[in-house]
Amino acid sequence: MFEKLQKKLVNVYIFLDLPKMVKKVPTDFTHVKRVQNKRIKKLMKRAYEIPFYREKFDAASVKPEDIKCADDLAKLPILYKDELRQWMNETAKDPKYDNWYHDTTSGTSGIPLMILLSPREKAYMMANWFRVMMLAGYNPFRGKTMSRKSAHSVSAGYDTALQRIGILRRGFLDQYASEEEMIRQVNEYKPDFLYMNKTELMRLCLYCNDHDSKIHQPRFFVPTGEKTDNIARKLFMKILGPGLVDSYGTAETGACMVRLPGSDDYLIHHDSFVVNMHDDDGNLALNGSIVITPLYKTDLPLINYAVGDKCTSEFRNGVRFVTSVQGRSNDFFRYDTGEVTTFFEIAPIIAHLNDILQIRFIQETYDSIRVQCVHNKAESKLTKEEIEEKLTTALNAKFKHPFKITYDWMDVIPPDENGKLRMIVCKVK
């Protein structure tokens, strides 16, 4: 009953939560780290009251007071997707959660995952998205935002009293329309801030590049839902301008860090998240698997949640900065010997291949790979045959065993069923 009322007050909670967040890049992280430690202690006390987590604490012989900072979280076990999925599905059966948000992931790494969010947690997650905008220098209250349509979208324009006086203006881009129609909508609305799924944005930018179509360049834009690789980054900035904001997070956790225009690093939202890296032995490391703990999720916490991606990081004055996000650990080329090659071992080849605008690898067998790619006709000086020869030679020089590589040249690479685009589709066991 109480949650039903809270749902109606979500927008109010957003305005209450946003002032508490760090909305500028700090010059001194002392205060931010103090806030982080305070919230860690509060989260541990709350988690210990929940049977699911009490078992984890007791199994690890850890008490809430033993965890006082980000590094101390390594004393608790990792939370993996399968375990979270089972916990969420069982918990959702309880009628007390009927008025909570039942959000669902896209299922990029397998089966879609349902995550329960209380109205207060949902409001904080939404306020955190506003914070991402404001860190980049955008005012979401005075500017014009445009996003892809969702099931809850309404038509663009001035739909409310606030929007009629220029506050929280938001338009919607029909991602299912033709490219020409999408361009028309963007040019007509002229958003200051544009965000949509990376694959959809790639489709739009590929069309603009191929047809020399002019599209309004927003002050800032964010490709969502997938990691923005270097090939996509160059094309996006060529078509849409320099205002690329690379926000990183998941549907389960919310946006936990951001790479701002002109920066080479990801800034972690330390006041609201702990982002740790674990090596293959489960120890804290500079480089390794990303493990996220959202500090605002105190109703049904996610502690040490393994998202499936890897990254590199470094500490500066005791503060962690992420230097690169390296993608999901299941992005492998596999060999019958049991060996693997990750995408990031061949990434330097792809990053410097200006002849291709979009690429995907499909490993059909242990001996063969099919490459889908989009030709950069506007800038490439090589024929498709010359590109194939050059790329095959470079790839097989990196692979542990050479592959037979064939090519499918396309106008645009279609996304997977979930709307995203995996860089590697491995069909062998």
What are the domain boundaries of the chain? Answer: 2-310, 332-426
Exposure on the CB side of residue 111, measured as CA atoms within 13 A: 10
The pLDDT of residue 161 = 64
Asked whether 242 and 297 are in contact (CB, 8 A), the reply is: no
Strand partners, 101: 117
The pLDDT of residue 153 = 46
Q: Which residues of the chain have pLDDT under 70?
A: 1, 106-111, 150-163, 165, 327-331, 344, 351, 417-420
**Token pair 């592959």 is at which residue?**
403
Element (H, E) at 186: helix 179-189
CATH number of 332-426: 3.30.300.30
Architecture of domain 2-310: 3-Layer(aba) Sandwich (3.40)
Residues 6+ apart with CB under 8 A from 209: 235, 238, 239, 357, 376, 378
The pLDDT of residue 154 = 44
The pLDDT of residue 330 = 46
The pLDDT of residue 167 = 72
Number of H helices, E strands in the chain: 12, 19
